[in-house]
Amino acid sequence: MPTREEITYFGAGPASLPTTVLQNASSAILNFQNTGLGIAEHSHRSALSSDIIATTESSLRNLLSIPKDYTVIFMQGGGTTQFSAVPYNLLGYWKLKRARMDYAVTGGWSQKGSEEAKRLYGDESVNVITNSKKVFGSYGGIEEEKEWKRTEGEERVFTYYCDNETVDGVEFPGFPSSLEGGVVAADMSSNILSRRVDVSRFHLIFAGAQKNIGTTGLTIVILKSSILQTQPTPTTLRALGLPIPPIMMDYPILAKSNSLYNTLPIFDVWIAGEVMKELIAAGGLAKQEEVANRKAERLYAALGRAPGIFKIVPLEGARSRMNICARAQPVELEGVFLKGAEERGLLGLKGHRSVGGIRISNYNSIREVDVDTLVQYIDEFGQRNA
């Protein structure tokens, strides 16, 4: 059996965590701060748990420079729950019963988000402003913004997009300029804390923790506090014939209870806080962005040195720094590549089950030395099979 030091896990999620955080967690799970109880055993209503929530939120605000008029909520249910929660909670901006939600569909996750909005509110309420599969034949790029078919006027209540699509390795290079000044909701589950973000451009950001933040089971929501004050009452929603959000998706209720309306997984919040502390100590997101970009450049360059063996999936302008996706040519070489990688302790490189191929997830926990090892293997594989 290999030791932790002998492998590098490039899986897309749950992703690997810093070894130092796990070492601290192994002690915390047995006896946290000399209390005689493990961290997972402490009441979520205790002062200790409240301090963990406050400390983690403070670190998140530090890293992302979150403005004071924004609220942070810790939730459960992953990004999939937010596919429902986002349209439910942005109802406060609806002036009329007939309103449109704009969705940029650039991959499988934004597609799922748009489908859930349609399921809840009907096809007529959802406007897909761009669909990469229709434009490019697959989810391999992002259409130019000037071609997006946006809803005009006050009928558009918000625009939704996924900042990084893990399945096909598509990432927005930055905030879409055409959305400036509007109500914008973004799924940042797979690239949050990998680069600097101007939170003030968004009304809502959500992220599952299991890529760059921590363990599976925690979801972070960052939202403009005005959203919490403009929610229609259940009576108003009934009168409009609109659905009422389940209580565990109701942002105002969760915010009012400091994320503790029900039993929050405090251990997961603590893990996230420990990861954030390490990021701050290492230089914050300016430094992390440099590292992430450098690692991604090395990986794309290595694949590009063997164009007859590896075909990079997304178009150059939309290539993800977090999920580098490629196909081996001929396809039979993919199994050979993956087997050889596993023999070298390079794990988790198989592409998503829906598309296959090779996927290198370059999350924050992946060290530059790990990338160097993989780059060396890619080069050797390319030369051997040329």
The yes-or-no answer on residue 109 being catalytic is yes
Q: How far apart are CA 326 and CA 57, in angstroms?
A: 37
* Rounded distance between C-alpha atoms, residue 345 and residue 96, angstroms: 57
Give the DSSP letter string of 130-174.
EEHHHHHSSS-----GGG--PPPGGGEEEEEEESEETTTTEE-SS
One-letter amino acid for residue 123 of the chain: D
Burial 44-69 (b: 16+ CB within 10 A, else e): beeebbeebbebbbebbbebbebeee
Q: Is 216 helix (H, G, I), strand (E, B) or coil?
A: coil
Q: Which of 109, 224, 270, 350 is catalytic?
A: 109
Q: How far apart are CA 244 and CA 362, in angstroms?
A: 39
From the candidates 187, 250, 268, 370, which is the catalytic residue? Answer: 187
Query: Using an 8 Å Cβ cutoff, are 102 and 160 in contact?
Result: yes
What does the buried/exposed string (b/e) look like for 81-111 if buried means 16 or more CB atoms within 10 Å of the residue's CB? Answer: bbbbbbbbbbbebbeeeebbbbbbbbbbbbb
Of the residues 211, 224, 295, 350, which is catalytic?
211
What residues act catalytically? 109, 187, 211
